[in-house]
Amino acid sequence: MSHGHVNPIDHPEVQMASRRGYMTGFILASVLMALATFLVSSHALPPFALLLAIMACAGFAVIAQVYFLLHIDISEHNIWNTVALVAFIPLFVITIGLTWWMFSQLYLRTMPMIPGMPGMH
Amino acid sequence: MLVHVPGPWSPLLGRLALSEIPYKNLILAPLFVLIVLVGLALVGWITKRGLWGYLWREWFTTVDHKKLGIMYIFLGLVMLFRGFIDGLMIRTQQMLAVGPGDNGIKAMGAIHGYLTPFHFGQIYSAHGLIMILLAATPLLVGLMNIIVPLQIGARDMAFPYLNALGFWITAAGAALIMISLFVGDFSHNGWFGYAPIFEMSYSPGVGVDYWIWTLELIALGTTLGSINFLATVVKMRAPGMTWGRLPVFTWSAVSANIIALTSFPCLQVALALVGADRYLGTHFFTAGFGGNLMLYTNLFWLWGHPEVYFVILPAFGMLGEIIPTFSEKPLFGYVAMVLATFAIAGVSWIVWLHHFFTMGMGPYVSTEFSVATMLVGIPTGVKVFNWAFTMYRGRISYTAAMHWALGALFLLLIGGLTGMMLSIPAINYMVHNSVFVVAHFHMMLLCIVYAVFGAVIYWWPKVFGFRLNEAWGKIMFWLFSAGTALVFIPMFMLGFMGETRRLDWPFDPHWAGLFDVQEFGIAIYVLSVVSFVVLLFVSIRDRAKERVGADAWGTSRSLEWLTDSPVPFYNFAMVPEINARDEVAWRREHGFLDIRPDHYKAIHMPNNTPVALYIGATLFLLGFALTWRIWWLSGIALLATVALMIWRSAKGDPGYVISAEEIARLDREARQKMPVDGGDTVPVGGFAGGQIMAYSREVSDQDRSHRGPKSW
C-alpha cells in the first residue's frame, strides 16, 4: 500500500521478467509433461525404467518452472529469491527423501516386485 | 464426460436434479425451513434499517486488515457453531445407538440410534473438516490479520487486496460445504479421506467432489494469506522494529505462515490428483492399474502434520502475549521462545508419518518418525516452562482472558503427554484408530480454542474500544471447561476400552454409561455456547461503562496497545519509532505512554474494491459446477475468475491520500473520545539515556516507498 506511488513496472523483480523466459519455461514444462504422458500411455519402457523416466521428466520440469517461471536463482539482486531457494532445498530433500525411504521399506513388505527393479527379491 | 458417472446427467444441469434435495429428511428439511426463515428475517431487518449500503461500503468491499480479520473471526465462529452442532449430533447418535439389538428410530430409517450410517459418516467428515479448516484456521488467520500489522507498526498488510481475496476465497469454501447440507450429500469417508474409498467406484455420489473443491478453495485462500503475512512482516515493520524486538505473536505468525506456504501446496496437489482420478479417469490412488493408495495418505499427511502446527503455533503466540500482560512481567526467555517456535515449525516437516505407523513400513522408518515426534516435546516443553517462569513471582490477575490462557496450558499438558504416548509405535499400534487418538487431538485443538477465546477477550477492547464482560467470560470458561472434562475424560477411557473411532453403532453395552456422561458434557457445552451469546449481548449493552483507552488492560506490553482503541482505519496517526522489545511497557515505565505526535504527515491508503468478493463468488460457482459436473458453468466461472484477475491487475489501485491536516483532526477526535488510561497517575517521565524518538521523523508514504537499505 505504501508502494502506491511507485510504478510497479519499475520494480526489479518485474524488470527481471522477460517474455522469452516465460515462454521458454512454459514450453519446456509442457514438453516434459507431454513426454511423461506419452511414455506412460504408450508403455514405451519396462515398468521400472518408466518410473525412472517420468521421475527424471518431473525433476527437469521442476527446475524449468523454478528457474524460468519463478525466477528463483542465487543472484544477488533478489536476495529473497535466494532465501526461498535455500528454504526450499532442505524441504524438498526431506519430503521426497523420507517418502522414498518409507515407500522402499513399505514395498519390501507389502507389494509385488516391479519388473526391472533392482534389489527386489 | 470423461468418467462415466452412475445416475442421470444432463448437459444443462449436470448431475443436479430435484431429487438431490433431501426434502424428506426429518432433520434437514425443518433445518432448511428454519435457515430460510432466519435468513429472510435477517435480510428484512437489514433492508428495513437501510444497512445494505453500509455493509457493502464498510465490509463487503473492504481491504482493511482489521475488518477482514473481524470477518474471518465471524466466519470462524459461525463454522465453529456448525461444527459443534455436528459434534452434538455425533454424541447423541452414539448415546442412543449404544448396546445390542435394534434400537433405532424407524421414522428416520435408522437401525441404531437416529442416523443412518451414511448420514453419520457425512456428519463426522464435515465435523472434522469444518473444525480444523473452517473454524480453527479462519479464527487464527483472523486474529493474525488484525494483530500482526498492529504489532509491527504497519498501516495495513503488504497486499490489502490479496488479503480480501484470501478471505473471500475461504468464505467461498465455507459456502460450498454449507450448501452440501441441502443440495446433495457431503463426503462420508472422514475429513482426510481414505484411498481408495473416495474413488468413483466406491463413492459414486457428489459428496467426495464437494469435499475436494471445499478443501481446494480453503487451501488456496490460506496460501494467499500466508504469502501476504510473510511479505508484511518482512517489509512493513516500523522503524526500530528489528527482528529481535518482534513480539512473540508476530514471530509465531511468521513461523506458522512459513509452514502454511510450504505445506498447503501438498494438499492441493494431493486433492488435484484425487480429482484427476474422479474426473479424468486416472489411477493415482486406485487399488489396481498401477495406482498407489498409500501414496494418498502420505501426500495428505505431508500437508496434514505441518497444518496441525500451523494452527497450534499462533495459539502459542497468543498465550505468549496474554500471560505476560496479566503477570505484569516480560515474557521469560524471549529468545528461547522464538527458537522453540521455529524448532517446532522445523520438526513439523519430519513427523508426518506418525499418522500412519500401522501402514507397515517397518521398524527403521517407524523409529525415525517416532524419535522425530518425541523431539517436538523439547521445544514445546521449553515453551511451557517459559510461560510458567513468566508467571512465577509475577503479579497475576485472574482475568477472563487469563483463565482461558491457563486452561489452554492444562489442555496442552494433557494433549502433549498423550501425544508422547502415541509417538511410541508400540503404543500407537495398540490404540491406533481408537477414540483415545480422537481424545488426544481434541485436547490439542481445544488448546487452540481456549487460546482463541482468550485472545478474543484480550484483543476485543483494542478492536472495538470496550472490554468484554469479565463475569460472563469466566462463566463461559467454567461451563466450557466442565463440558471439555465430561466429554473427553470418558473418551480417553473409552479409547482404552477399545472403542474405535467413527462408530455409528457402538455395540458394547458396557460403554453406555460413559456415553451418557459424554452427552451430559455436550449439554454443558451447549450452555457455554449460550453464555457466549449472553457475554456478547451483555458486553455490547454495557459498552459505555467498559470504554477503554489505548492501553486497555493497563499492563499490556506490545506495540498494538499504543494506538487508539478502537484502532482507526489508518492504524497509527504517525508511524511509531520502536525503542524496545516491549515498546508499550517500556514507554509506560519511562512515562512516555501519553506522548502524541506533534506533527502529522499525509497517509496513502488503498481503495475498497468489490473484485475480491466477485472472485470469491465465481470460485464458489466453479466449485459448485465442478461438483455437479455442469461443464458449461465451470467454464464460464473459470473464465470469469481469470478475466477478473487480469482486469484488476491491469487496472491497479492508485489509492487515495489523507492529508496531514485531516489526520491531525481525526487523531484529535479519537483522543477526545477515549478515556485517559491510568486515570489519576501523572505521567512523570524520564529516561537516563536522554532523548527518545516516539514517532519516526519521516513517515510520508512517498518517502517510505523509496526507502533503500539505509537506516531511518
Task: Sketch the domain layout of chain B as residue ranges.
Answer: 1-323
Residue B333, classed as helix, strand or coil, is coil
Alpha-carbon gap: B72 to the closest alpha carbon of chain A (Å)? 21
Which residues make beta-bridge pairs with B695?
B576
Q: From the candidates B361, B601, B700, which should be mutated to test the interface with A, based on the most A CB atoms within 10 A?
A: B361
Which chain B residues touch A if contact means CB-CB below 8 Å? 155-158, 160, 234, 236, 258, 262, 266, 294-295, 298, 302, 349-350, 353, 359-362, 364-365, 368, 604-606, 652-655, 701-702, 704-706
Q: Minimal Cα distance from A108: which residue of B?
A: B361
C-beta separation of B214 from B116 below 8 A = no
B362 vs A87, A98, A109: nearest CB: A109
Lowest mean pLDDT segment, chosen from A99-113, B409-423, B558-572: A99-113
Question: Pick from B302, B353, B360: which is nearest to A109 by CB?
Answer: B360
Cell of A5: 506511488
Q: Which residues pair with B500 in a beta bridge?
A: B434
**B364 neighbourhood in chain A, CB within 8 Å:** 105
- pLDDT tens digit string along B213-258? 999 999 999 999 999 999 999 999 999 999 999 999 999 999 999 9
- B712 compared with B338, residue with greater pLDDT: B338
Which residues of chain B make contact with A99, given a CB cutoff of 8 A? 298, 302
Residue in B156, B365, B653 closest to A105 by CB: B365
Q: Per-residue confidence at B697, pLDDT binned at 50, 70, 90? A: low
Q: What is the grid cell recorded at B602?
A: 499525509
> Which residues from A are below 8 Å from B349, CB to CB?
91, 94-95
The residue of chain A nearest to residue B294, with distances taken between CA atoms, is A103
Tracing cell 461451563 back to the chain, one arrives at B479
CB-nearest to B604 from A1, A88, A106 is A1
Q: Report CB contact under 8 Å: A105, B606.
A: no
Q: Which of A2, A8, A103 sits opposite B604 (nearest CB)?
A: A2
pLDDT of residue B471 exceeding 80: yes
Grid coordinates in use for B601? 504527515
**For residues B507 and B500, is the Cβ–Cβ distance under 8 A?**
no
**Banded model confidence at residue B703, pLDDT cuts 50, 70, 90:** very low
- With contacts defined as CB-CB under 8 Å, which chain B residues touch A87? 258, 262
What's the one-letter identity of residue B35?
I
pLDDT in the model for residue A40: 86
Q: Which of B158, B361, B704 sits opposite A102 (nearest CB)?
A: B361
Q: With an 8 Å Cβ cutoff, is A2 touching chain B?
A: yes
Closest to B170 measured CA to CA, from B72, B70, B305: B72
Contact B335, B469 (CB under 8 A): no
Residue B506 has a pLDDT of 92
CB contact under 8 A, B262 and A94: no
A101 reaches B (C-beta below 8 A): yes
Given an 8 Å threshold on Cβ–Cβ distance, is A106 in contact with B359?
yes
pLDDT, residue A8, reads 65
Q: Residue B154: which of B460, B664, B559, B581 has the closest Cα?
A: B559
* Residue with cell string 501426500: B299
Facing A101 at nearest CB: one of B157, B360, B365: B365
Show the cell assigned to B427: 503404543
Identity of the amino acid at B119: H
Which residues of chain A lie closer than 8 angstroms to B653, CB-CB?
4
Chain B residues inside the 8 Å CB shell of A95: 266, 302, 349
Q: Residue B1: which of B200, B253, B260, B198 has the closest Cα?
A: B200
Whether A109 contacts chain B with CB within 8 A: yes
| CB within 8 Å: B705 and A101 | no
Kindly determine whether residue A2 and residue B705, on different chains, have CB atoms separated by under 8 Å.
yes
Q: Show residues of chain B in contact with A33, CB under 8 Å.
A: none
Res B214: pLDDT: 96
Give the pLDDT score at B70.
96
Judged by CB atoms closer than 8 Å, whether chains meet at A105 and B298 is answered as: no
Across the interface, do A2 and B155 touch by the CB < 8 Å criterion? Answer: yes
Residue A3 to chain B, least CA–CA distance (Å): 5
Query: Which secondary-structure segment (H or E) carries B604?
Result: strand B603-605
Residue B640 scores a pLDDT above 50: yes
What pLDDT score does B702 carry?
43
Average pLDDT, chain B: 90
Distance from CA of A7 to the nearest CA of B (A): 10
pLDDT in tens, B291-321: 888 999 999 999 999 999 999 999 999 999 9
Q: How confident is the model over B201-222, as pLDDT tens digits? A: 899 999 999 999 999 999 999 9
Cβ separation of B349 and A109 shorter than 8 Å? no
Give residue B274's pLDDT: 95
Q: Say what the pLDDT of residue B229 is.
A: 96
B360: cell is 507397515
Q: Give me A111's grid cell.
A: 507389494
Q: Please give, rounded to a whole number of angstroms, the shortest distance from the CA of A35 to a CA of chain B.
A: 17
Cα A35 to Cα A22: distance, rounded to the nearest angstrom: 20
The shortest C-alpha distance from B431 to chain A (Å) reads 21
A79 touches chain B (CB under 8 A): no
Which conformational region is residue B190 in: left (phi greater than 0), alpha (psi within -120 to 50 degrees), or beta?
Answer: left
> Does A7 contact B at CB distance below 8 Å?
no
Residue B558's alpha-carbon distances to A45, B246, B247, B670, in angstroms, are 63, 9, 6, 20
Helix (H, G, I), strand (E, B) or coil at A38: helix
Q: Which of B618, B611, B617 shows the shortest CA–CA distance to B637?
A: B618
- In whole angstroms, give the CA distance from residue B388 to residue B395: 13
Rounded to whole angstroms, how far apart are CA atoms A67 and A61? 10
C-alpha cell at position B518: 459424554
B705 with A99: Cβ contact below 8 A: no
Q: Is B596 exposed, middle or buried, given 0-12, 13-18 or 19+ CB atoms closer than 10 A? A: exposed
Whether omega for the bond prior to residue B709 falls within 30 degrees of 0, making it cis, is no
Contacts of B260 in chain A (CB under 8 A): none
CB contact under 8 A, A95 and B361: no
Task: List, for residues B367-388, the tens digit of each pLDDT value.
Answer: 999 999 999 999 999 999 999 9
Sign of the C-alpha dihedral computed for residues B192, B194, B196 and B198 taken in this order: negative
For chain B, state the CA radius of gyration. Answer: 26
CA atoms within 13 A on the CB side of B21: 9
C-alpha cell at A23: 515462454
Contact yes or no for A5 and B364 at CB 8 A: no
Contact present, B164 and B653 (Cβ < 8 Å): no
Q: What is the pLDDT of residue B25?
A: 81
Say which DSSP state B576 is in: B
Higher-confidence residue of B306 and A83: namely: B306
**Is the Cβ pair A102, B653 closer than 8 Å?**
no
CB atoms within 10 A of CB B39: 10
The answer to whether the beta carbons of residues B518 and B91 sit under 8 Å apart is yes
**CA-CA distance, A104 to B527, in Å (whole number)?**
52
Note the pLDDT tens digit of each residue in B588-628: 888 888 778 888 889 999 999 999 999 999 999 999 999 99
Interface size, chain A vs chain B, as Cβ–Cβ contacts under 8 Å? 70
Q: Which CATH class is domain B1-323?
A: mainly alpha
Place of cell 511468521: B254
Residue B260: C-alpha distances to residues A121, B114, B164, B167, B340 (Å): 41, 39, 18, 15, 18
Beta bridge partners of B10: B14
Residue B647: burial class (beta carbons within 10 Å; 0-12, 13-18, 19+): exposed
Q: How far is B464 from chain A (nearest CA, A)?
A: 24
Distance from the Cα of A99 to chain B's closest Cα (Å) equals 8
Determine whether the interchain pair B364/A6 forms a contact, defined as Cβ–Cβ distance below 8 Å: no
Ordered alpha helix ranges (H), B200-347: 207-235, 248-275, 293-327, 334-347
Q: Does A95 touch chain B (CB under 8 A)?
A: yes
Which one, of B76, B99, B90, lies nearest residue B487 by Cα? B90
| Stretch (H or E) spanning B605 | strand B603-605
Q: What is the pLDDT of residues A10-35, one digit of tens each?
A: 776 677 677 888 899 999 999 999 99
B656: enclosing H helix or E strand:
strand B656-658
CB contact under 8 A, A1 and B606: yes
SS (H, E, C) B120-134: HHHHHHHHHHHHHHH
Check residue B691 and give its pLDDT: 58
Distance CA B608, CA B62 (A): 5
For residue B76, give how far its alpha carbon lies from the nearest alpha carbon of chain A (Å): 27
**B258-281 pLDDT per residue, tens:** 999 999 999 999 999 999 999 998
Q: Which residues of B touch A108 (CB under 8 A)?
A: 362
Residue B529 has pLDDT above 80, yes or no: yes
**What is the three-class DSSP state of B658?**
strand
